[in-house]
Amino acid sequence: KNEVEQSPQNLTAQEGEFITINCSYSVGISALHWLQQHPGGGIVSLFMLSSGKKKHGRLIATINIQEKHSSLHITASHPRDSAVYICAVRPNTDKLIFGTGTRLQVFP
Amino acid sequence: EAEVAQSPRYKITEKSQAVAFWCDPISGHATLYWYRQILGQGPELLVQFQDESVVDDSQLPKDRFSAERLKGVDSTLKIQPAELGDSAMYLCASSPVRNEQYFGPGTRLTVT
């Protein structure tokens, strides 16, 4: 069993829809990252969380440390949001453990 | 805005050949990571440097892979000889000590 599980693996949506991607993990962590990877391959860090909730534009990330669960929400989705979204956790080391990603496609 | 630079962006090589990738981290970032990402999977750490020293290379296939960061700034990852299973995206990231990681654009390697 992977230490970091994401769901769903693939997600399609119509422009404007509210989107939720989930991440569950099985290890104790000091931080959780949400990353965005476009087809070209480069990865952009969206959020780093250790508790509570963060918001940036149309993106919201929440984490529940007790339940070992985090969600990434996208409000008013747009085709340019189409990408792979990766959850990564940091145990009490510098090393990140990555999920396998959620592939999101938003259609106009 | 400062970015992690990687080159080349794409590389096609024949099996048994040698291949090298280069990474220039964000200035001042002491920690540098090399990851391998196989299609459809999350990145896997190959090697982590703190300045010029290797901190973690437990997942680096040392019979064919090598990595160096001689002056504690830019870094080179080498594969010799390349095998078909090495086809993947190779990502470099850097970070200030124990902080958010900044990723480069990656090098997509295809071994034929």
- pLDDT, tens digit (0-9, with 9 covering 90-100), for B75-104: 999 999 999 999 999 999 999 866 688 999
Contacts of A16 by beta carbon, 8 Å cutoff, 6+ apart: A76, A77
* Candidates B37, B98, B101; nearest CB to A45: B101
* Candidates A40, A45, A98; nearest CB to B43: A98
Q: Minimal Cα distance from A102: which residue of B?
A: B40
Task: Please answer yes or no on whether A45 and B105 come within 8 Å at the CB atom.
Answer: no
CA distances from B37 to B21, B40, B80, B90, B92 (A): 14, 8, 18, 6, 11
Residue listed under structure tokens 């034929």:
B112
Per-residue pLDDT at B98: 65
pLDDT classification of A36: cutoffs 50, 70, 90: very high
Angle at A97 between CA B110 and CA A47, to 5 degrees: 100
Bridge partners of B101, per DSSP, are: none
Per-residue pLDDT at A25: 96
Report DSSP state, residue A79.
Answer: G
* CA A99/CA A19 separation, integer angstroms: 18
Identity of residue A41: G
**Quick check: A60 contacting B, CB < 8 Å?**
no
pLDDT tens profile B5-40:
999 999 999 999 999 999 999 999 999 999 999 988
Residue A58 pLDDT exceeds 90: yes
* CA A47/CA B68 separation, integer angstroms: 30
Contact A94, B99 (CB under 8 A): no
SS3 A1: coil
Backbone angles phi, psi at B64, to 5 degrees: -130, -15
